[in-house]
C-alpha cells in the first residue's frame, strides 16, 4: 500500500500535472470532447490503463464531458499511485492536441 | 421535444421499470457487476444504445458499480424518452440473470 | 436498399476518400495506432458511428492495427452507405493528425 | 518467452477449453451474440483482459460475431499464454449462459 501524501506533497505533484486540481482527498480533472462518441473512446482507454494498474478512477460521463476523481481508498487519500494514473490519463489526450 | 411527466406519470412508468427509482427530476438505477471489466462491457453497451437514441444518461462508474441518472434536460425533467432509455438499459442486463 | 455502385462510381468516390482502397466488392482501409489501447478507443468510436447508421464494417484488430472492410451485403457490393461510413470513420481519426 | 507447444500439448489443453479449436498455429473460437451492441460489450472486455496479460488476440468483428485467433508470435505458435488467455475469454461469456 502506498503512503498517503501530505497536502504539500500533493501540491508538489500537481505542479507537474497541468489541468489536475486537488479535490477532497482526490486528484480531479474534467475533459471535454467534441461529442459523446469521442468521450467514450477516451473512457475506454482510461479503463484499460486503470485496469492494467489495478487502480481505478471514479469516473462520471455527461454526454461529451468526462470527470475523473483519483484517490487511494486504502490509504484514505492521494498517493503516488494517483499521480501515476493522472500522468497516464493525461498522456491519452495530449497527442490529440499536437 | 417530449413533454415533462407529472410525478404521477413517473410513478406509473416506474411500476413497469423494476429497479428504477424516481430521483430529483430523474430516473435512477445503479448496477453492480463482478468487476471493472464487466462494468465497462455494460457501459459501452449503454453508450451505444444511448447514441442511437440520441439521448444520453448521466453515468458514473466506480470500479464494478455503474450509476445512471436519466433526465430530459430540454423538458426540465422526466419524459417518455427517459422511460424508453431505462427499458433499453434494463434489457442489456436482464438476459444475464436468466 | 441502396444501389450497388459500378467500379467507375467507386473510383470516383475514392477520389474524395484518401487512404481508402477498392477491395473485393469493398472499401478498405487499415489504421495503425500507438498501441492496443489507442486502437480500442478507435474501435469503440467506429462501433458507435456504425450502430447509429445501422451499417457495420467488417473489422479486424491486431494489437495496434485496425483493418476495416465496408460492403453493403444486401446490394452485393459497394453503395453510397459504404462511402458515408468511410467518411465518418475517417473523420474520427483526422483531428488527431492535425 | 513461453515455449511453443507440440500438437499433442495443444490437444491436451483443448480438452479443457470447450469451444476452442486448433487452427494454423493458433487457438481459435468464434462467439455469436444477439446483436452488434452485445458483441462490442464482449470485445471491450476481451481487450481489457488481453491488455492486463499484455497478450493480445487477433480479433475480427462482423456485426454480432466475434472471431478470435490466439498465438504467441515470439514463439511461433501456441504456448501456455494462449491457453491462459483462452480460459479468461471463455470466463467472460460463461456466466451469461448460466
Helices (H), chain B: 7-14, 36-53, 80-93
* Integer Cα distance of B42 and B66 in angstroms: 9
* pLDDT value at residue D2: 85
Torsion sign, CA atoms C68, C69, C72, C73: negative
Segment C51-61 shows an average pLDDT of: 98
Q: What is the pLDDT of residues B42-84, one digit of tens each?
A: 999 999 999 999 999 999 999 999 999 999 999 999 999 999 9
Which residue is listed with cell 436519466?
Answer: B70
* pLDDT value at residue D95: 53
Q: Which chains touch B (3 or more CB pairs under 8 A)?
A: A, C, D
Question: Using H for helix, E for strand and C for coil, what is the string for D33-74?
Answer: CCCHHHHHHHHHHHHHHHHHHCCCCEEEEECCEEEEEECECC
For residue C66, the SS3 value is strand
Helix B36-53, helix C36-53: angle, nearest 10? 30
- Res C48 pLDDT > 90: yes
Instruction: Flag if B51 and C47 touch (Cβ within 8 Å).
Output: no
Strand order in the sheet with C21-22: C21-22, C27-32, C65-70, C58-62, D58-62, D65-70, D27-32, D21-22
Tell me the sheet residues that pair with D70: D27
Residues from chain C that touch B42, judged by Cβ atoms under 8 A, are: none
Tell me the sheet residues that pair with D20: none
- Determine the structural domain holding residue A27 and report its residue range: 7-97
User: Does A91 reach chain D within 8 Å, measured CB to CB?
Assistant: no
| A63 is a domain residue | yes
| D54 is a domain residue | yes
User: Does A30 reach chain B within 8 Å, measured CB to CB?
Assistant: no
Out of D37, D51, D63, closest to residue C37 by CB: D51
Q: B15: distance to nearest CA of chain D, Å?
A: 26
| C71 is a domain residue | yes
User: Does A37 reach chain C within 8 Å, measured CB to CB?
Assistant: yes
| A1 is a domain residue | no
CA distances from A89 to A38, A85, A94 (A): 15, 6, 9
User: Does B2 reach chain D within 8 Å, measured CB to CB?
Assistant: no
Out of A37, A43, A51, closest to residue B51 by CB: A37
- Res D42 pLDDT > 70: yes
CA R_g for chain C: 13
Core vs surface per residue A25-42: b (16+ CB within 10 A) or e: bbbbbebebeebbbbbbb
- Res D48 pLDDT > 50: yes
Cβ–Cβ pairs < 8 A, chains A and D: 10
* Integer Cα distance of A75 and D54 in angstroms: 28
| D1 is a domain residue | no
Instruction: Flag if B40 and D48 touch (Cβ within 8 Å).
Output: yes
For residues C66, C52, D47, B43, the Cα torsion angle rounded to the nearest 10 degrees is 160
**Interface with A, mutate which of D40, D42, D43, D48 (most A CBs under 10 A):** D48
- Res A95 pLDDT > 80: no
CATH number of the CATH domain containing B12: 3.30.1360.20
Phi/psi at A30 (nearest 5 deg)?
Answer: -115, 140
Tell me the sheet residues that pair with B60: A60, B67
| A2 is a domain residue | no
User: Does A59 reach chain B within 8 Å, measured CB to CB?
Assistant: yes
Confidence band for C2, pLDDT divided at 50, 70 and 90: confident
- Angle subtended at Cα C47 by Cα C46 and Cα C50, rounded to the nearest 5 degrees: 85
Q: Which chains touch A (3 or more CB pairs under 8 A)?
A: B, C, D
Whose CA is closest to B57, among B95, B28, B25, B77? B28
- Angle subtended at Cα B69 by Cα B68 and Cα B75, rounded to the nearest 5 degrees: 150
Out of C40, C58, C62, closest to residue D47 by CB: C40
**Interface with A, mutate which of C31, C37, C50, C98 (most A CBs under 10 A):** C37
ipTM associated with this complex: 0.93
Segment B28-45 shows an average pLDDT of: 97
Q: A72: distance to nearest CA of chain C, Å?
A: 24
Number of domains making up chain A:
1
| C22 is a domain residue | yes
CA distances from B37 to A5, B65, C41, D48, D49 (A): 29, 11, 15, 7, 8
Phi/psi at B38 (nearest 5 deg)?
Answer: -65, -40
- Res C1 pLDDT > 90: no
* pLDDT value at residue B1: 76
- Res A97 pLDDT > 80: no
User: Does C48 reach chain A within 8 Å, measured CB to CB?
Assistant: yes
| B1 is a domain residue | no
Amino acid at each position: 500500500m502506498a503512503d498517503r501524501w501530505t497536502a504539500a506533497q500533493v501540491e508538489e505533484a500537481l505542479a507537474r500535472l497541468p489541468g489536475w486540481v486537488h479535490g477532497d482527498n482526490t486528484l480531479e480533472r474534467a475533459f471535454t470532447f467534441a461529442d459523446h462518441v469521442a468521450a467514450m473512446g477516451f473512457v475506454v482507454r482510461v479503463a484499460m490503463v486503470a485496469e492494467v494498474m489495478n487502480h481505478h478512477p471514479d469516473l462520471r460521463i455527461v454526454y461529451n464531458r468526462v470527470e475523473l476523481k483519483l484517490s487511494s481508498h486504502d490509504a484514505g487519500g492521494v498517493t503516488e499511485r494517483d499521480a501515476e494514473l493522472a500522468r497516464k490519463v493525461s498522456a491519452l489526450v495530449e497527442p490529440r492536441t499536437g
